[in-house]
Chains A and B, each alone.
Chain A
Amino acid sequence: NAGVTQTPKFQVLKTGQSMTLQCAQDMNHEYMSWYRQDPGMGLRLIHYSVGAGITDQGEVPNGYNVSRSTTEDFPLRLLSAAPSQTSVYFCASISREGNRYNEQFFGPGTRLTVL
């Protein structure tokens, strides 16, 4: 298994540009989520999905869109990049046994800079 993969690893955007951060997992996990990590702020939840076709907002959803057309993929779209979105972005998926969710697996992260 490749686990959780993210692309790109690094990206520089200009203010107003749009782009999509890709996330994929091959563990058949239903639950996936996107976090951003900023110095002194910890990991904050942007959006999450409990299965294909279902998404919901987290703590800091503004400026981001997500979709979940397949179990494997959970892309994060920046509609119009702003310098405040400069951050490290982590995608994660959660393993499940019956009704119980277990540990969360993280992707390697995408470092995004918006100029």
Chain B
Amino acid sequence: EDKVVQSPLSLVVHEGDTVTLNCSYEVTNFRSLLWYKQEKKAPTFLFMLTSSGIEKKSGRLSSILDKKELFSILNITATQTGDSAVYLCALRGNTPLVFGKGTRLSVIA
């Protein structure tokens, strides 16, 4: 059974800090790993990763995948209060996305 475990479950940081969110997984047939940001409504797409070692970047956010060790990390540099959200990691194997429980990030001024 495909499985996604995210850590930490919650995190409180100050503005300007750098954070690293972790996602480890077990999968029978890996196709891709996706990161989403969820504020009050539906999740919004951040990144999709399919290959190891290739960093995806978007502004202050970046992510990388390690298919050998079965994990991915999401980095956020120079955090802002607008980064406060739940960050979801999702795995695509043989079925539609399997989600982790998410990491709740709170950025305080």
**Which residues of chain A have a CB within 8 Å of any CB of chain B?**
31, 33, 35, 40-45, 48, 56, 58-59, 90, 92, 94, 101-109
Known: A45-B96, A58-B95. A103 touches B101 (CB 8 A): no
In the bound complex, CA of A101 to CA of B48 (Å): 10
Tell me the minimal C-beta distance from B61 to chain A in angstroms.
15
In the bound complex, CA of A62 to CA of B97 (Å): 19
Interface assignment of B105: CB less than 8 Å from any CB of chain A: no
B101, A109: Cβ atoms under 8 Å?
A: no
B99, A43: Cβ atoms under 8 Å?
A: yes
A107, B101: Cβ atoms under 8 Å?
A: no
A45, B95: Cβ atoms under 8 Å?
A: yes
Known: A41-B101, A42-B88, A42-B101. A108 touches B95 (CB 8 A): no
B98, A45: Cβ atoms under 8 Å?
A: yes
Pick the contact of A107: B42, B88, B92 (CB < 8 A).
Answer: B42
Q: Which residues of B contact A35 (CB under 8 A)?
A: 99
Interface residues contributed by chain B, number (CB under 8 Å): 20
Interface assignment of B41: CB less than 8 Å from any CB of chain A: yes
Known: A31-B96, A48-B96. A101 touches B41 (CB 8 A): no
In the bound complex, CA of A103 to CA of B32 (Å): 10
Known: A42-B88, A42-B102, A108-B41. A103 touches B34 (CB 8 A): yes
Q: Which residues of A contact B98 (CB under 8 A)?
A: 45, 59
B99, A101: Cβ atoms under 8 Å?
A: no
28 contacts between A and B (CB under 8 A): A31-B96, A40-B101, A42-B88, A43-B43, A43-B90, A43-B99, A45-B95, A48-B95, A56-B95, A58-B95, A58-B96, A59-B98, A90-B42, A90-B43, A92-B96, A92-B97, A94-B96, A101-B31, A101-B32, A101-B92, A102-B48, A103-B34, A103-B45, A104-B34, A104-B45, A106-B44, A107-B42, A109-B41
